[in-house]
């Protein structure tokens, strides 16, 4: 049986769970306590971070690789945009900027007390550079790179959600209406609701 070691609130684990759920991959999810990581997970991946997928004799411990593995099994709504190289290229660019640049600003914004070099407002402004880029894309269409959800939307949404939740009232007052509508729709979707259901505690 395929087994995913996950942490419910981790954005990397969220995007992996969304892709696996969408792909209807048979799966057992093990909710990990970050203070007491299971030895079975550490034996599979010495990184000690979620998500970790054990599937078909393989171990995949990068969220984006888990997503692409799942979509290779089953991609009924064409999240990979197989016949659209331009959209695929844009997807790769957005994910790289999210993971390498926006995530750094997000961490500093969320945990500003750990980074006293600048104010929380400074880190929020850094993050908004990326949010403005997403908002510009969403002014042209309902989703980031296509007229339906794709890998880009699923890979980025958990991080935008985390940014929004640092100061929900402040986020609601930002002038990014298409982005706010996109995020609300993704959060309210059946897919996200399903993957955020609490797992039973391991015994």
Cα distance between residue 195 and residue 135, in whole Å: 25
CB-CB neighbours of 70 under 10 Å:
27
Point out the domain boundary residue: 26, 49, 76.
76
pLDDT at 203: 47
pLDDT at 198: 84
158 and 117 in a single domain? The answer is yes
171 and 103 in a single domain? The answer is yes
Mean pLDDT across the chain: 96
pTM: predicted TM-score of the whole model, two decimal places:
0.95
Residue 196 lies in a domain: no
96 and 153 in a single domain? The answer is yes
141 and 168 in a single domain? The answer is yes
Domains identified in the chain, total number: 2
pLDDT at 201: 56
Which range marks the domain in which residue 94 is found? Answer: 85-189
Point out the domain boundary residue: 76, 100, 131.
76
Residue 184 lies in a domain: yes
Residue 136 lies in a domain: yes
- DSSP one-letter string for the chain: --EEEE-TT-HHHHHHHHHHHHTT---EEEEPBTTB--HHHHHH-TT--S-EEEETTEEE--HHHHHHHHHHH--TT-TT-TT-HHHHHHHHHHHHHIIIIIHHHHHHHHTGGG-TTS-HHHHHHHHHHHHHHHHHHHTTSSSSSSSS--HHHHHHHHHHHHHHHHSHHHHHTSS-HHHHHHHHHHHHSHHHHHHTSPPPPP-
User: pLDDT-derived band of residue 1, with 50, 70 and 90 as boundaries?
Assistant: confident
96 and 177 in a single domain? The answer is yes
96 and 162 in a single domain? The answer is yes
pLDDT at 137 over 50: yes
pLDDT at 31 over 80: yes
102 and 72 in a single domain? The answer is no
102 and 167 in a single domain? The answer is yes
43 and 94 in a single domain? The answer is no
164 and 96 in a single domain? The answer is yes
pLDDT-above-70 percentage for the chain: 98
CATH code at position 64: 3.40.30.10
Please give the average per-residue pLDDT across 99-107, as a whole number.
Answer: 98
pLDDT at 199 over 70: no
98 and 183 in a single domain? The answer is yes
pLDDT at 202 over 80: no
Please give the average per-residue pLDDT across 145-166, as a whole number.
Answer: 98
């Amino acid at each position: 049986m395929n087994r995913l070691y996950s942490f419910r609130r981790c954005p990397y684990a969220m995007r992996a769970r969304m892709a696996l759920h969408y792909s209807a991959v048979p799966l057992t999810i093990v909710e990990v306590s970050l203070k007491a990581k299971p030895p079975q997970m550490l034996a599979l991946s010495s990184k000690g971070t979620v998500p970790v997928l054990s599937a078909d004799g393989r171990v995949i411990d990068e969220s984006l690789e888990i997503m692409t593995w799942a979509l290779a099994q089953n991609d009924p709504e064409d999240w990979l945009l197989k016949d659209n190289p331009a959209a695929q290229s844009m997807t790769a660019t957005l994910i790289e900027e999210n993971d390498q640049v926006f995530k750094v600003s997000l961490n500093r914004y969320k945990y500003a007390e750990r980074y006293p070099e600048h104010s929380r407002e400074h880190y929020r402004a850094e993050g908004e550079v990326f949010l403005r880029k997403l908002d510009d894309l969403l002014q042209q269409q309902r989703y980031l790179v296509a007229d339906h959800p794709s890998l880009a939307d699923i890979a980025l949404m958990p991080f935008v959600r985390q940014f929004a939740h640092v100061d929900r009232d402040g986020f609601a007052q930002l002038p990014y209406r298409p982005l706010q509508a996109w995020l609300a729709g993704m959060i309210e979707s059946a897919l996200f609701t399903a993957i955020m259901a609490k797992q039973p505690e391991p015994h």
